[in-house]
Amino acid sequence: GVTGSVLHIDRFGNAITNISAELLVGRTIAGVSAGECEIDRISDTYGDLRAGDAVGMIGSQDTLEIGVNGGSASDQLEIKRGMDVVVRWDTD
């Protein structure tokens, strides 16, 4: 997998990481973790999830973001700037 960190929290509470979308292309993601937060996939849109679900997605800066559908990842998942983020590949 790959390890990065949270660069900043945007005004919606999304955690913007330094993990480039390029690193994720062609990979099957087994999970994303940041602190106590565990996400089992990266989604294309918030519409793929129920309200309140945590999500990993590629944001407008072409980097991995962690968010909460209809909420704040920073508040609800206690994700903070500087926190490590780990993306694990599915090796099957």
pLDDT digits (tens, 9 = 90+) for 41-61: 788 888 888 999 999 999 989
Task: Quickly state the pLDDT bin for 92 (edges 50, 70, 90).
Answer: low
Q: What are phi and psi of 13, to 5 degrees?
A: 90, 10
What tokens appear for 88 in the block? 């694990």
Q: Which DSSP string do the residues of 24-92 spell out, in sequence order?
A: TTTPPEEEEEETTEEE--B-S-GGGS-TT-EEEEE-TTSEEEEEETTB-HHHHS---TT-EEEEEE---
DSSP state of 22: G
pLDDT of 90 above 90:
no
Amino acid found at 56: G
Going by C-alpha positions, the residue among 78, 80, 64 that lies closest to residue 31 is 64
pLDDT value of residue 62: 94
